[in-house]
Structure 1
């Protein structure tokens, strides 16, 4: 049931049409409307051994929508709504599970199961929404020019962008947890779904809206 993401999310998104209505001025070339949900599920949506992709993120979104069909997480399936998502890799979720449980978990499915058990669907929903900036398509070129910017997320909290260009380019996102290492943008996973209103950038840790 949880793997029926396109139909479940698309139906839920219709009820959330009013959200994310504020969009920047149109660019010279109209942006496409392929959704991030379609991108995330395009590989068959299966747990695997590739810790650099986004299987756990996809399953987390599915779990939220399965339990809460009206969740704003459904906006990820409505490609007409502008948004930017910072997408934690599978390794990022594995690190979160280790921090919460004190155990190293190798299997992606077991990481996912552990997070659901430890955090619950409501908390997972809150964390996912903290990774989404609604109403704006922030390409990597814009992010690189946003040093010091405070981004307001769909969860309501803010994420601060820190950009360094020397000795090499790095983009750090300062979250609501002051004790753990802040996530960095994965430079090899920039501009996922490029050319569309919904865009994502991979990150190497899970953003935390509170001190965990």
Structure 2
């Protein structure tokens, strides 16, 4: 546990200059929908649906609330081109268990546990590690990215691994933690917000920008 919390503290100090990774964009086109508008479409309330993104959106709102100038806020600016890999509520449940050794059922409790353990600065860095700035990577593009290394808004990298299982593609994202279970893209939750500059793909694990 000391190693985990120490690593989280170290991550909190590793802030990156996110603004430099984003291209300058023109004024927001009125028809461009942001990811926030999509992810909060279900009123963004903690519930018992482990397949949606309530904890993710609450985490993003908490970061922007505490740090109004955080680049996480660009998820609400549909004019900025980006791709997000979005952990489901169940993915955050896995993370909470990994960090505490306990299974936490309540989404609200999972959220508060992670905030207490990591703090807003660390959560900000973790969220940015899920974002690829400047690119709209639809599922077709991701499937063609076998073996590619993606640079995230946090400054770290992800490696894309593509395999097949029973004829269906399996998209795995290899993060910086060599010991955890690698995240897989959920094929029933891909291309969220397709047709806009910002798209997201659901994943079943929270990506880790450092080796915990």
TM-score, length of structure 1 as denominator length:
0.86
Q: Deviations over 1:68-101 (max 9, x none)?
A: 1110101101100100000000000000000011
Alignment of 1:102-181 (within 5 A): 102-167=101-166, 168-181=168-181
- Runs of 4+, deviation exceeding 4 Å: 16-19
Matched, 1:88 2:90: no
CA RMSD of aligned residues (A): 1.9
Contact 2:21–2:153 at 8 Å: present in 1 too?
no
Alignment of 1:1-212 (within 5 A): 20-21=22-23, 33-167=32-166, 168-212=168-212
After superposition, the Cα gap between the structure-2 partners of 1:203 and 1:197, relative to the gap in structure 1 and judged at 3 Å, is: same
Q: Which runs of 5+ in 2 are unaligned?
A: 1-17
Q: Which runs of 5+ in 1 are unaligned?
A: 1-15, 24-29
Q: Give the CA deviation at 1:33.
A: 1.2
Q: Give the CA deviation at 1:165.
A: 2.9
SS of the equivalent of 1:87 reads strand
Contact 1:22–1:135 at 8 Å: present in 2 too?
no
Q: Deviations over 1:113-161 (max 9, x none)?
A: 0000011101100000000000000000000010011000000000000
